[in-house]
Amino acid sequence: MNNKLNYEECLKEFKKSLVGGSEFDMLIEGIIKNISTNRIRWFDVGIGDGHYLKKIVTTLEEKGFMVGVIGIDSDEKAVEEAKVTFPNGKIIHGDFLNKDLERKFDVFIFNQSIYYFHNKNSVIEKCLKNLAEGGLLICVCWSEKDKIFQFHKSVFGKWTLGAFTSENFKELISKNKDVDIVYDKLFKARVDFRLWKNSANLEKNLYVISRIPVSEGISEGNLELAKELVNKQKGNEIRVNGVVIAKKSYNISNFTREKIEALLEERFPNYTEEISKIKGDLEALFMGSWEKETEYLSDYIDSGKVLEVCCAAGLKSVILAKKHKVIAIDINKDRLNAAKDNALLFKVNKNVEFKKIDAENFNELKRLGGFDAIYVDVDWRENLYHPIKKQNIDPFKTCPRTDELYLNLRKLHPKTPIIFKISPFVRVKDLTKLDPCVIEELYIDEKFLSYNVYFDAKIKKSRWQAIHLFNKEIIQK
Ligand SMILES: C[S@@+](CC[C@H](N)C(=O)[O-])C[C@H]1O[C@@H](n2cnc3c(N)ncnc32)[C@H](O)[C@@H]1O
């Protein structure tokens, strides 16, 4: 037993015996295929020194994702290094199970770290509780087919920390009805056990695979057994890592009128009296715009005749119509009826006309005539029967399709400013493929809400800007 070793030294030695790369590309593929947002709130459990995560984040950023990192590790030295690796992240020293999480995350990842926990059930329960709908729970760890795992099991037995495989992870996850396994692959490479046969190196490798802290020491008994067994290993044994990704389902069973009214009170601070009388199905009200957001937009548009495409229950129309003449269209007749009542409630019925029009129908759009500005807030789902929060990160997979709608509107109105409200979850920069545009990140009370994307003949080069609106200011007025 050698207490002068440190973990980094052991890991360095261990890595020398790994032949044939890592599961990195598989992991990236699994994330990109299944992630449901372009702005990823990432929680790394067992971040270590952060170098592996840095490689993941850099690759995702190169592909256009934005990743906000929180990481935790119980190793103080590793945490210090991870803080340097992620100067803008939040790196915590401590035990994941003792840390209160105040908000939801889009990813919880265990990269070769889940075996360090005694109570895996509690760990997974905690992640699932704090995972956003559509969020990913990712586990990378050895498979039961892995020769290093099998060696571990022979030396340390069944009940040690390391005795947990990607198959065990799948089994635990499958008991939970809120998540589905969406990616399940095995990465196969080689391990050269010849490098383990030197006894000093064997001890270092044992620390890595035992999951026992170096300070606790490996028992003499285990060391002896390992020495005996390592001689039976071949130079070119198979190494197998599982990459398993589970996705949280979209479950909005707690979507009630009461909850929607609480949301609306926050969104319409000047109209709290009207909230209980606002008409519309819960989905339409949930999707509805904010008073402050629409006021800001109204000021941007020169006064005149505005076409509002996809008005739902008219939560945007009632604010737009305070300053403009509005023609508001939607495909849903019930929502349009609700919108008419809402226009009366907000006393703007003389300024807004609601029409049932399919925005995918070029001729119907043509018959509406000319406008000074066009505002569009499509349904961000690919299919209207999908759960409300299930959105695609492709900004064109919407109802109606954003790209086709833009091209049709542009054909009909070559010189009219067209503004799209775009989901906060999507790869918004794809919109620059349509035409040069201004992409605006919209924050309300410092919370990111969505994007406004402006298309106008005057815009020659795409650019980004951020706008910060404050609800509180309205209340103080
Ligand atoms: C995000 S909501 C709009 C919310 C609205 N801006 C508000 O503030 O209340 C999107 C709307 O798009 C409508 N929609 C979907 N497909 C459509 C189509 N082909 N033509 C017109 N409207 C459509 C849906 O019925 C839904 O009401």
Alpha-carbon radius of gyration of the chain: 28
Tokens of 419: 């503004």
Is 1 inside any structural domain?
Answer: no
Measured from the CB, is residue 339 less than 6 Å from ligand 1? no
Is 208 inside any structural domain?
Answer: yes
Per-residue pLDDT band for 254 (boundaries 50, 70, 90) equals low
User: Whose CA is closest to 352, among 336, 365, 369?
Assistant: 336
What is the longest distance spanned by two Cα atoms in the chain? 89
Ligand 1 center to residue 295 CA distance, Å?
19
pLDDT at 211: 85
> Domain check: are 90 and 206 in the same one?
yes
Where does 23-65 show beta strands of DSSP type E?
Answer: 39-45
User: Whose CA is closest to 234, among 158, 151, 342?
Assistant: 151
> Domain check: are 211 and 312 in the same one?
no
The boundaries of the domain holding residue 388 are 257-476
pLDDT at 162: 78
Measured from the CB, is residue 291 less than 6 Å from ligand 1? no
Tokens of 41: 């709130």
Ligand 1 center to residue 87 CA distance, Å?
41
Atom of ligand 1 nearest to the CA of 294: 8
Tell me which of 260, 264, 287, 452 to substitute to probe ligand 1's pocket, judged by most ligand atoms within 8 Å of the beta carbon. 287
Tokens of 434: 């349509």
Per-residue pLDDT band for 163 (boundaries 50, 70, 90) equals confident
- pLDDT score of 468 more than 70: yes
Last residue of a domain, one of 248, 273, 302: 248
Q: Which residues on neighbouring strands pair with residue 434, listed in sequence order?
A: none
> Domain check: are 235 and 298 in the same one?
no
Measured from the CB, is residue 287 less than 6 Å from ligand 1? yes
> Domain check: are 110 and 243 in the same one?
yes
Ligand 1 center to residue 253 CA distance, Å?
22
Tell me which of 330, 354, 451 to substitute to probe ligand 1's pocket, judged by most ligand atoms within 8 Å of the beta carbon. 330
Is 335 inside any structural domain?
Answer: yes
Measured from the CB, is residue 359 less than 6 Å from ligand 1? yes
> Domain check: are 214 and 264 in the same one?
no
Contact 136, 106 (CB under 8 A): yes
> Domain check: are 80 and 186 in the same one?
yes
- pLDDT score of 403 more than 70: yes
Measured from the CB, is residue 289 less than 6 Å from ligand 1? yes
20-25, Cβ contacts within 8 angstroms, sequence gap of 24 or more: 20/188, 20/189, 20/190, 20/239, 21/189, 22/187, 22/189, 22/241, 23/140, 23/185, 23/187, 23/241, 23/243, 24/55, 24/56
Contact 246, 137 (CB under 8 A): yes
> Domain check: are 305 and 453 in the same one?
yes
Last residue of a domain, one of 208, 230, 248: 248
Ligand 1 center to residue 355 CA distance, Å?
12
Pairing of strands 463-469, 437-444: parallel
> Domain check: are 68 and 99 in the same one?
yes
Is 2 inside any structural domain?
Answer: no
Mean pLDDT over each residue of the chain, to the nearest integer: 93
Last residue of a domain, one of 213, 248, 283: 248
pLDDT tens string 294-319 = 999 999 998 889 999 999 999 999 99
* Alpha helix positions (H), 211-290: 220-230, 257-267, 282-287
Is 109 inside any structural domain?
Answer: yes
User: Whose CA is closest to 365, among 416, 290, 430, 313?
Assistant: 416
Percent of the chain with pLDDT over 70: 97
> Domain check: are 167 and 99 in the same one?
yes
Atom of ligand 1 nearest to the CA of 379: 10
Is 373 inside any structural domain?
Answer: yes
Is 167 inside any structural domain?
Answer: yes
pLDDT tens string 431-456 = 999 999 999 999 999 999 999 999 99
> Domain check: are 235 and 375 in the same one?
no
- For ligand 1, atom 9, which residue shows the shortest CA distance? 288
> Domain check: are 410 and 472 in the same one?
yes
Ligand 1 center to residue 335 CA distance, Å?
9
pLDDT at 143: 97
Number of independent structural domains in the chain: 2
Tokens of 477: 């007025």
Measured from the CB, is residue 360 less than 6 Å from ligand 1? yes
- For ligand 1, atom 26, which residue shows the shortest CA distance? 312
- For ligand 1, atom 7, which residue shows the shortest CA distance? 288
Measured from the CB, is residue 399 less than 6 Å from ligand 1? yes
Phi/psi region, residue 46 (left: phi>0; alpha: psi -120 to 50; beta: rest), is: left
- For ligand 1, atom 10, which residue shows the shortest CA distance? 379
Which CATH number fits the domain that encloses residue 206? Answer: 3.40.50.150
Is 350 inside any structural domain?
Answer: yes
> Domain check: are 302 and 442 in the same one?
yes
| Ranges 93-102, 211-220, 275-284: which has the least confidence | 211-220
